[in-house]
Structure 1
């Protein structure tokens, strides 16, 4: 008989795990955020270049993170079920898959200029993005290594260290950016290339910090001993669970990347405003992403214990917590959009007023999709916790690309709504995904686990 866990205990456990994960995601996001703020103060044109370069890097990075995110439910279930050896095996092979994926990405980063030109971007913006990626692209290797260790430590409910290492990375990024973007403290003024160097340094420092911690605090798993030795069974298991997560990530991030490309067709000021508004909405999304990760770990542990009742109750609790955060976010976007946009621009920038005016409309549209965006990421977290990833991949791909992108284009261009129309299309795609994924978890995945004989506490 599995001990029943109360709602209060679920709330406490979710917050103990979720708050550090939210903090770490916000801190990780702050690395990108400080790039945007400091480059926006440096030059709006340079900011537009970094928006495109950063978009391409993040798109491939988040796709490759699928193998790292597969570690979270697999380690959570294995640890809860007492299968210690499996913890080491899947974490190591996720590292292998991350290195292989990063190697595939490097040619794309190196020759990104022609790709962006073919996508209809202005030559100067495309060239600046390529300059950025030829340096920052190398950060894909330590960045994916960091994601594997974050998933591993989070699954073991050691999320505090993830937060502190990421906060330290933000500080490093600000210092290196300040020196190399503007040429302070005797350093050369490198603009966008300085931001790229800072990103590479930050990821390397983060990887080193988490690697040392994991080796010292969890010696029983011996993560780095004989790491060169293949384990093809674990390799295949991580690949099977991870590639649908990667495609799902790609489908969602690609939706926003497509919106960035469409905004680029409208003009540089529209793209800069879009980049800033996307930074603001993404910061709020990090809260739900951290809760989604907590949902994955808690669901994986419930699966390992054979606790269907706890899985259901924990799912309800974490969705309610996410909904409360949605209400606060919507109020912020509707009541204070202009001050949020103005944070990213120099008071002396002649384009400041125009960029802020465009961004206010985008944030109003963003307020509409906060609920559905939170719903779909929470459903994904729960589904991944019970290792259900392939059907959600199909739902995401169809919702975002068969519905969201076409509607964004139609609203933005033929119907003449511009940037606001593009963002309304995003909302519709996210809404469709949220509805079907929630239905999948509650009406398909849970009944299937019940039918399979998962023990339920009464």
Structure 2
């Protein structure tokens, strides 16, 4: 019996592809920004407890965030796999269900590892010479916080599912509702309001756990009530393994997780360099980097959309569609970052006023240093946008290993090497550190963009199997 070829819709034109990318990227970018707001609300509540509690939570969240982000990136490799399955044989009910099943299995497995790493916070703080009372506070906070990790990692998998299936707005709405749950939980359990026990800093971790439970349940409810999503029955036959699919997720996702560790690690190392230079420079670095991180959430969301769009056309064996999806995302992400770069150059004081009382003369020195850092941040905004979306487009092609090495090299050799050299061995000091960061991002952008440009020559546009 001869199998009839699967008919695919025609390749979208540039205008149609822009519309599809925007439809995905807009809600995902907004969800990323709302997630940043969730962390900001935690800081606002914890800051009311005092500087010791705030410092302790910052140290704990630094480790927890790094573990969580890398493991969510690992399990997030299910997105390009599902997108390719939809492009090849949509609606692909059985293949998508199996991919989701194995991604959720992987979430549970890696969560155990992640919780183990988080539990090492106490010894890590002793080795790094942190003050004993700060270490004790951070450990008490982390001992509760780490239980949120499995829920957050599974929720990340469900977020990939709803976005890949064309329901990215669910991610935005659920994240927004989660902000309310988190704020209420902080209010109740930190300060003992509305009949809850006053737990202090551990109460903030309880609020995070409750929020993680609520978000996971909201995703489950959305999937159950939406006919398009429910038809996949992603928990059906949940006990059945599909080891080839499991291995594929790990194979694609591990380099993504290492890439995340490389990038987050270099920015963390930059903070230690700033700390050696001086407290003023570290404070200015923190503020300027936070502004850059907010801006980055938009091209990051565009990159997530590019992964899905490129993956779909990979499954459909449509190289023209792959190219249009990738280039549309790159132009879109870079265009947004060009606008943020312009704002950093033209109105730096207005942006910094979100964090610093610019009218207070006591902050003049901090403001001057931060404005200088923002000028360099403006220069690397374009590079940051290009590398974020180009990496996302390459992930759509399931190309993650070489981009991993590009990231490790770019961030740590020219990037950190120059940051350490200029920051500690020249009069540039903090400015030198930022020049190093900009150099690393630029290397990554150029190399990833070149790899994307040569995707057909390198054989990346032919799906395996």
Query: What's the offset of the Cα at 1:433?
Result: 0.9
Q: Is 1:311 aligned to 2:311, yes or no?
A: no
SS class of match (1:223): coil
Contact 2:81-2:99 at 8 Å conserved across structures = yes
Distance 1:104 1:453, change over 3 A: closer
Give ranges in structure 1 of 5+ residues lacking alignment: none
The residue aligned with 1:98 is 107
Contact 2:29-2:297 at 8 Å conserved across structures = yes
CA distance in 1, matches of 2:275, 2:126: 11
Q: Is 1:30 aligned to 2:60, yes or no?
A: no
Of 322-331 and 176-185, deviating more is: 176-185
The residue aligned with 2:150 is 141
CA distance in 2, matches of 1:49, 1:416: 32
The residue aligned with 2:215 is 206
Distance 1:147 1:416, change over 3 A: farther
* 1:166 aligned to which of 157, 167, 175: 175
CA distance in 1, matches of 2:246, 2:332: 35
* 2:26 aligned to which of 8, 13, 19: 19
Contact 1:2-1:307 at 8 Å conserved across structures = no
Contact 1:41-1:345 at 8 Å conserved across structures = no
Contact 2:348-2:374 at 8 Å conserved across structures = yes
* 1:245 aligned to which of 239, 244, 256: 256
Q: Is 1:383 aligned to 2:390, yes or no?
A: no
- TM-score, with length taken from structure 1: 0.89
Higher RCO (CA-CA < 8 Å; seq separation 6+): 1
Q: What's the Cα RMSD here?
A: 2.9
Contact 2:314-2:462 at 8 Å conserved across structures = no
Contact 1:338-1:357 at 8 Å conserved across structures = no
CA distance in 1, matches of 2:60, 2:446: 32
Query: What's the offset of the Cα at 1:298?
Result: 0.6
Query: What's the offset of the Cα at 1:125?
Result: 4.6
Distance 1:118 1:272, change over 3 A: farther
Contact 2:390-2:448 at 8 Å conserved across structures = yes
Distance 1:49 1:265, change over 3 A: farther
CA distance in 2, matches of 1:248, 1:434: 14
Distance 1:263 1:46, change over 3 A: farther
* 2:117 aligned to which of 108, 123, 137: 108
Contact 1:36-1:344 at 8 Å conserved across structures = no
Contact 2:104-2:157 at 8 Å conserved across structures = yes
CA distance in 2, matches of 1:199, 1:287: 24
Q: Is 1:222 aligned to 2:233, yes or no?
A: yes
Give ranges in structure 2 of 5+ residues lacking alignment: 1-7
Query: What's the offset of the Cα at 1:370?
Result: 0.9
What are the within-5 Å matches in structure 2 for residues 21-420 of structure 1? 21-40=28-47, 43-82=50-89, 83-119=92-128, 121=130, 123=132, 125-181=134-190, 190-217=199-226, 218-266=229-277, 270-344=281-355, 356=367, 358-420=369-431
Equivalenced residues, count: 453
CA distance in 1, matches of 2:349, 2:54: 19
SS class of match (2:239): coil
Contact 2:28-2:171 at 8 Å conserved across structures = yes
Of 218-227 and 229-238, deviating more is: 218-227
CA-to-partner distance for each residue in 1:168-214, whole Å, 9 max, x for gaps?
A: 01122222233444555565665543332222222221111112222
CA distance in 1, matches of 2:191, 2:355: 16
Contact 2:314-2:463 at 8 Å conserved across structures = no
Query: What's the offset of the Cα at 1:8?
Result: 0.9
Query: What's the offset of the Cα at 1:293?
Result: 0.6
Contact 1:411-1:417 at 8 Å conserved across structures = yes
Query: What's the offset of the Cα at 1:90?
Result: 1.4
Contact 1:300-1:385 at 8 Å conserved across structures = yes
Of 432-441 and 28-37, deviating more is: 28-37
